Structure 1
Amino acid sequence: MTMTLEGARSVAAVILEPVPGANGVLVPPPEYWPMVRAACDAEGALLIADEVLTGFGRTGKAFGYQHWSVTPDIITCAKGLTSGYQPLGAVIVHDRVARYFDDHLLACGLTYYAHPTACAAAVETLKLYDDEQLFANAARLGPVLRRELDAVAARLPGRTFVRSLGLLGALEIEAPAAAWTRLGHELAARKLSLHDDARRGTCVVAPPLCITDDELVYGVRGLGDAAVAAFGAGGAAATATTAAGDAP
């Protein structure tokens, strides 16, 4: 992998989500992140991991990038930092970046910078992650989620793709817009809250990290019932993409 669009050493940084979520949980192949890291090193560019979605256990590790043998220069994070109970984001930098600011002032500030209420929520959230072993729970249940999503895909007609890593998964279903509208109604009737996107043809599953085996199976099978009601039943085998660490 090389950076040629802007010319040699013209790229300051590359910003990537370890697993893009809004685009349908696109789990990269194992060689992708090491290739990006090598390209950044060759060009003197920083590698920034956007861990707003994947950080704090969502993929079964503390941060999503840890599934591959790379270390980013900068990590951006939010969401899981307080579990959504308070608005808070953070930027984590590698020593090689931090050392620059030993002799160079970084003059910046925000109105609610380091707000004590938000920071207190973050401290307690991080403690709960550790006390309740929620990252390990996400890693343990990753194969269960994958197995159940594969089972849903096998019930549907046409081509259905399954992607997952930890407790982040997606079904990509080829179906008309009207069927996706029906899916929304069927999910609501079953009191299931999922991110379904007719435009991209994806249904994203991201259950809470504290979920139990029985709750996860119940929820995904409910999704399967809703999907069959919306898209119809079929017996064709699903086409499943490979997700690192989540063998069925």
Structure 2
Amino acid sequence: MSDSMASRAVKNTSKSIKELLFSPFDIIFLLRAYFVTSLRLKSDDGRILEMQRLKPFYRGTRLLTGMGLILIAAAFLLPFSVIFVGMDGFWKLLIAYMAVFFIFSIAGIVLEAALDAVFALMYVHKFSFTTAVSKFINYTRSNPGDSVKYMGVKLLLDISFMTVILGLFMPMMIEAIIVMLKITAEVQAGTADVGSIAFSGLAIVTILGALAFLSSMILSVPISAFYGYYTENAVKDMMPIIIRKC
């Protein structure tokens, strides 16, 4: 195998995405594709059927992204815990949250680059999870150059896409911080009832979060397609080496 496996995968992926999503601003289709694919509904749309075919190739990304979104959602609820646990309890929860988030982020960086390939090997070649992990590890040892390029491109894509998605949630995050500061100021001033501030703030945060979530759903369709095609093309290039050497 040449040392351009990752670049070939990117080129083939870009071509496939252009053919699949020929109407990138078809918002109705993107939303329909998201819900049909996520809920495993039936569809006669060839593009949606192709999206469903690609799901096993980005299974690892979906798993880690789902866990990450749960952690992010928890962060927006933290400010409102002041009402129930007080400031001392809030700071303890915040420290615990930051520790969990840090551990998950470090582990995610390592796992994100490899899990898609492992699950793809399981899907395409019916390997068990342990066998697929062993095959992928052996491949990375025998082909460190290709492995680093594959995982490097994957990691770069992850960082880029997550930056965009997190940017969509920034207004919600800023509003949550503002609400937290208002509640903190009222508590320190001795105000007994901060419920009105909390609930009105929560309403605004919820609206901003809903808009961000809607935007992220729309973007997730082309992003998921890219991950799927990229992993599929990369695994096709890996397999001759895996079969021959691993």
Taking structure 1 as the reference length, the TM-score comes to 0.23
Taking structure 2 as the reference length, the TM-score comes to 0.23
Structure showing the higher helix proportion among its residues: 2
Instruction: Return the index of the structure with the highest Cα Rg.
Output: 2
Give the number of the structure with larger relative contact order, counting CA–CA contacts within 8 Å between residues 6 or more apart: 2
